[in-house]
Amino acid sequence: MQRIKLTDVARAAGVHPGTASRALNPLTREQVSQATSRRVARAAQRLGYIPNTLARGLRTARSFIIGMVVPDVANPLFPPMVRGAEQVLSKAGYTLVLTDTDNDASTERRQIEQLRARGTDGFIVATARWRDPLLDEIAEAGVPAVLVNRNTSTGRLPYVGGDERTGIKQAVDHLVGLGHRHIAHLGGPQDTSTGRERAAAFRQATHQHGLPSTRGLIRACTSYTEAAGAAAAGRLVASGQEFTAVIAGNDLIAFGVLSVLGQAAISCPDQVSLIGFNDMPHLDKLAPPLTTVRLPLAEMGAQAARILLDKIEQSASDSPVTQSLLGVELVVRGSTAAPVPRFSNNSHALNAR
């Protein structure tokens, strides 16, 4: 049994394949009389005709495929974005192809090349580095693409992300409100926009509150992983620096901090408060439940998809490159509490009043 093709439908309806094509396409249907149009539609229906997207794509130079590139599907940050994008795209008739680069630049390049060979109509990229030659090439080549979650330094591509700056500010405000004055930031890698942005926002917020110098209290982790977070936390604790709270670059880094604190017999939140970022699922079940900044991940994915579709449909490059920041929300849970003054920083606390 063969797949039904347009020729079969045309023969069944007693018309030329070209006519059948026009009858089936809503945009060209007006060029065909209603009677034949109906006849063709019925024949297609009856035979169970499914158009061959490959052949169509070859002729129209459109594949209705959107590629989405993420560093690691297993990172719970990404699935909600993928779902958000997928819903918008599939509603518009596009198919989302998800590829996982495993955080590897050469894999990423290979994947994107593969997808381009498939005539992919556009890309949603969640793997951007701060300096990213591959993305520069894509921008140069005029391939429709939207960045999500992470931005690049050049700002030549549209970007959809969370309002990191406000998120960090809320976190700092919250801690300061509880009475903390010695807050550390174990941020993400500085070759990602999120790592840079959050660190910068942290500096700004602590400065606004007139907190003591943050020198030595700001550290960058080598990656957004529990292991890297633990390593950085270990170094922080070993440094002997005084701190009563930590704002982690994301939730995974916070996990690393948590385990180091546990090993060092430092209680959270009694001795050190901890705030994560992203609001991964199930953080409320942790011991202690993690205070964190929630990003509208699904909405970010959906918005990125919408912007991309716009870009594709009106391929005119007249539209400016938009950078959208979506609102975030501090979710306060059990990992943050008022600091207990230790004798070593008692005087500081008194001075502050």
Partner DNA sequence: GCAGGCTTCACAATCGATTGCGGAAATCAT
Partner DNA sequence: ATGATTTCCGCAATCGATTGTGAAGCCTGC
- Footprint on this chain of its own copies (rule: CB under 8 A): 50-55, 57-58, 63, 72-74, 76, 79-80, 82-83, 86, 90, 95-100, 102, 110-111, 113-119, 255, 258, 281-282, 285-287
**Footprint of DNA (CB under 7 A):** 3, 5-7, 14-19, 21-22, 24-25, 28, 30-37, 49, 51-52, 55-56, 58-61
Nearer to its own copies, 2 or 213 (CB): 2
CB of 135 to DNA, least distance (A): 25
CB of 140 to its own copies, least distance (A): 10
Cα–Cα distance, 216 to 35 (Å, whole number): 78
Its sign, for the CA torsion 259, 262, 268, 272, is negative
CB of 42 to DNA, least distance (A): 14
Phi, psi of 99 (to 5 degrees): -130, 145
Do residues 292 and 252 lie in contact, with contact meaning Cβ atoms separated by under 8 Å?
no
Q: Taking the CA of residue 15 as centre, how many other CA atoms within 13 Å lie in the half-sphere pointing to its CB?
A: 24
Cα–Cα distance, 232 to 139 (Å, whole number): 35
Nearer to its own copies, 72 or 310 (CB): 72
Q: What is the DSSP string of 24-88?
A: HSTTTGGGS-HHHHHHHHHHHHHHT----HHHHHHHHS---EEEEEES-TTSTTHHHHHHHHHHH
42 binds, among its own copies, DNA, none (CB under 5 to 8 A by kind): none
137 binds, among DNA, its own copies, none (CB under 5 to 8 A by kind): none
Cα–Cα distance, 135 to 85 (Å, whole number): 20
19 binds, among DNA, its own copies, none (CB under 5 to 8 A by kind): DNA
**294: nearest Cα among 120, 167, 196, 174:** 167
CB of 68 to its own copies, least distance (A): 9
Burial of 72 (0-12, 13-18, 19+ CB in 10 A): middle
285 binds, among DNA, its own copies, none (CB under 5 to 8 A by kind): its own copies
CB of 227 to DNA, least distance (A): 44
CB of 143 to DNA, least distance (A): 16
Nearer to DNA, 7 or 347 (CB): 7
Nearer to its own copies, 98 or 139 (CB): 98
Q: Coil, strand, or helix at residue 218?
A: strand
